[in-house]
């Protein structure tokens, strides 16, 4: 077939190559019964397989570092879930083989997740990957995963598990296309970190025949099947123009008429710092501290361990700005010592700041560690709370910061629509806002960021989401305070111009996106950005908003 398909572009660049599909999933093990005396041996086999898979996931995370490490360590914790382990042992005790017990126990847990609300349903792909790896080990068959090829290719999959995405070799995997996922899914975030062009939420991707030549444009979301020579030339020309523009834009972020827009990096730990520095990040706009807490789900890391990790990041940006988000636990990032196990809808329950206020000793330990880490450094430390709903939340966090003796600015993340709508009230207690557009979109549209079927509503171009961004930015301007964006929306160069036009004062993103955003901002004046923002807000859908902004910025 010669056609153009459209999904959601989540990682910039163009890739042209032959399609190769992910390895098939593990086959369902036979329902074979075992004798009672074989149960202890089978239970031991199951435990060994689980531990081996968990260790492999942790090792992959250590190799990948940064955000990938946090994601893979969370998967390792999933593999070792004590309730799942108990269910596996119970099934073996009544006659199942180890592999069948694992398969059935995971199936039961999978059904619970699928019914537990959109947020947890989005973890099903991660759960399936863990199950497949354990069953494959028990059956003695190759692990599911990326194709074994010595020639570069475009990877096609229904979805990509973090364990596969984290260790993709950019020299072989030119780009990837998935049927599932969304712009803020784990795979999308890791693709941007790798700098691999990627398109997700593409209906029918699995129907592309093995070996078919495809051209993937990670900026537009287009996938051309069997592109003509003329189409290949046009894609290559456009990619070359983007590359030249990126290489020509240097220095701090700013519009063409000199309006400054600091470009900051999102980091998951010290491992992400070198890429941020190389990309010319002017600081860190989102330092996710969860990676430290995922090492041990039973207890918080010691203050000394936290101090060491925090100081490594702070030292990398002397006299720069580093915005630290305190622990965001709950929902898709459960920690057994903090997170309730019986919440009917964890995404709408006790998570983020609510969890920390229920466990003040954990919050105080983290704030004290940050205070110690910043001692003697010229860095501009700012600390913010996740999932702030109202002024009372903001006040509680600011009080906790003062109690810990923290010499820093205190801020609030705007991820809940109520915080955007009442931003002036929240700003009576804190000194800055940071818009987490990933969760803000999720809660605005009731659309899980991991579910491809609702990716239309996860689109950060949705005018309703832009309205909330504008509301928060206007409130900050009225109060003489700053309002940045640290969600993945900031990594879209065109949208970065619109966000600037809405009044956002800084943009934070994965390091690989910084050069693209810097180049795009440098092409337009602040007035053009403001006109593009107004045109986008006047539209009725995400695609229409993007088209309207594009028309303004291209002078059409």
Instruction: Supply the residues annotated as catalytic.
Output: 186, 486
Integer angstrom CA distances of residue 374 from 307, 315, 448: 9, 9, 36
Q: Could you write out the DSSP letters of every residue in 417-471?
A: HHHHHTHHHHTTT-SEEEE-HHHHHHHHHT--TT-GGGHHHH-TT-HHHHHHHHH
Sign of torsion over alpha carbons 490, 370, 291, 276? positive
DSSP 226: S
Q: Is 524:552 a contact under the CB 8 Å cutoff?
A: no
CA distance 6 to 202: 6
* Nearest by Cα to 490 from 463, 464, 476, 469: 469
Q: Cα 335 to the chain's mean position, in Å? A: 18
Report helix, strand or coil for 515: helix
Report how far residue 292's alpha carbon sits from residue 491's, in angstroms, rounded to the nearest whole number. 25
| Cβ(375)–Cβ(364) below 8 Å | no
Give the DSSP per-residue string, 194-223: HT--EEES-TTGGGSPTT-EEEEETTTTEE
User: H/E element holding 286?
Assistant: strand 283-288
Q: Which residues pair with 11 in a beta bridge?
A: 198
Question: Collapsing DSSP states into helix, strand and coil, what is residue 323?
Answer: strand
Residue 116 Rama label (left phi>0; alpha psi -120 to 50; beta): alpha
Burial 271-296 (b: 16+ CB within 10 A, else e): bbbebbeebbbbbbbbbbbbbbbbee
Give me Rg for the CA atoms of the chain. 23
Assign residue 259 a region (left: φ > 0; alpha: ψ between -120 and 50; beta: otherwise): beta
Cα(51)–Cα(55) distance, integer angstroms:
6
Which of the 8 DSSP states describes residue 301?
A: P
Q: What SS3 state is found at 283?
A: strand
Please answer whether residues 70 and 291 qualify as being in contact, where contact means their C-beta atoms are separated by less than 8 angstroms: yes
Q: Which phi and psi (to 5°) does residue 285 adopt?
A: -95, -15
Helix (H, G, I), strand (E, B) or coil at 506: strand
Alpha helices in 200-336, H assignment, sequence order: 229-248, 273-278, 290-293, 303-315
């Amino acid at each position: 077939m010669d056609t153009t398909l459209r999904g959601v572009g989540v990682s910039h660049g163009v890739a042209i190559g032959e399609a190769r599909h992910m390895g098939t999933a593990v086959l369902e093990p036979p329902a074979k019964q075992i004798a009672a005396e074989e149960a202890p041996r089978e239970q031991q086999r199951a435990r060994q397989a689980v531990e081996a898979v968990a260790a492999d996931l942790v090792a992959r995370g250590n190799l990948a570092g940064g955000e990938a490490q946090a994601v893979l360590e969370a998967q390792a914790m999933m593999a070792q879930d004590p309730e799942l382990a108990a269910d596996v042992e119970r099934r073996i005790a009544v006659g199942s083989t180890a592999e069948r017990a694992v398969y059935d126990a995971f199936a039961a847990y999978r059904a619970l997740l699928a019914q537990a609300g959109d947020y947890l349903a989005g973890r099903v792909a991660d759960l399936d990957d863990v199950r497949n790896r354990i069953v494959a080990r028990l059956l003695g068959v190759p692990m599911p995963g990326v194709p074994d090829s010595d020639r570069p290719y475009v990877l096609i999959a229904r979805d990509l598990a973090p364990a596969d995405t984290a260790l993709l070799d950019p020299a072989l995997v030119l780009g990837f296309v998935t049927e599932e996922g969304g712009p803020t899914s784990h795979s999308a975030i890791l693709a941007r970190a790798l700098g691999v062009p990627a398109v997700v939420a593409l209906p029918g991707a699995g129907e592309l025949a093995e070996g078919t030549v495809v051209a993937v444009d990670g900026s537009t979301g287009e996938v051309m099947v069997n592109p003509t020579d003329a189409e290949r030339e046009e894609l290559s020309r456009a990619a070359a123009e983007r590359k030249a523009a990126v290489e020509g834009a240097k220095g701090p972020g700013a519009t063409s008429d000199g309006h400054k827009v600091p470009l900051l990096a999102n980091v998951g730990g010290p491992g992400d710092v070198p890429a941020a520095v190389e990309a010319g990040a002017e600081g860190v706009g989102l330092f996710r501290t969860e990676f430290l807490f995922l090492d041990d789900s039973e207890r918080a890391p010691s203050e000394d361990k936290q101090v060491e990790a925090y100081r490594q990041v702070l030292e990398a940006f002397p006299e720069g700005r580093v915005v630290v988000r305190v622990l965001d636990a709950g929902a898709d990032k459960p920690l057994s010592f903090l997170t309730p196990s019986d919440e009917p809808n964890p995404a709408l329950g006790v998570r983020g700041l609510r969890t920390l206020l229920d466990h003040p000793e954990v919050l105080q330990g983290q704030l004290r560690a940050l205070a110690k880490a910043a001692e003697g450094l010229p860095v501009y430390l700012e600390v913010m709370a996740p999932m702030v709903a109202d002024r009372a939340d903001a006040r509680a966090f600011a009080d906790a910061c003062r109690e810990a003796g923290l010499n820093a600015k205190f801020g609030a993340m705007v991820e809940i629509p109520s915080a955007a709508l009442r931003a002036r009230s929240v700003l009576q207690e804190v000194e800055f806002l940071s818009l987490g557009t990933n969760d803000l979109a999720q809660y605005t549209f009731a659309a899980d960021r991991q579910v491809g079927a609702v990716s239309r509503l996860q689109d950060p171009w949705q005018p309703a989401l832009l309205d909330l961004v504008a509301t928060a930015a206007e409130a900050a301007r009225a109060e003489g305070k700053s309002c940045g964006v640290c969600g993945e929306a900031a990594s879209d160069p065109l949208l970065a111009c619109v966000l600037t036009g809405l009044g956002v004062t800084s943009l934070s993103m994965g390091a690989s996106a910084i050069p693209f955003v810097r180049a795009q901002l440098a092409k337009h004046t602040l007035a053009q950005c403001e006109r593009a923002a107004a045109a986008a807000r006047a539209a009725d859908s995400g695609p229409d908003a993007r088209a309207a902004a594009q028309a303004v910025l291209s002078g059409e």
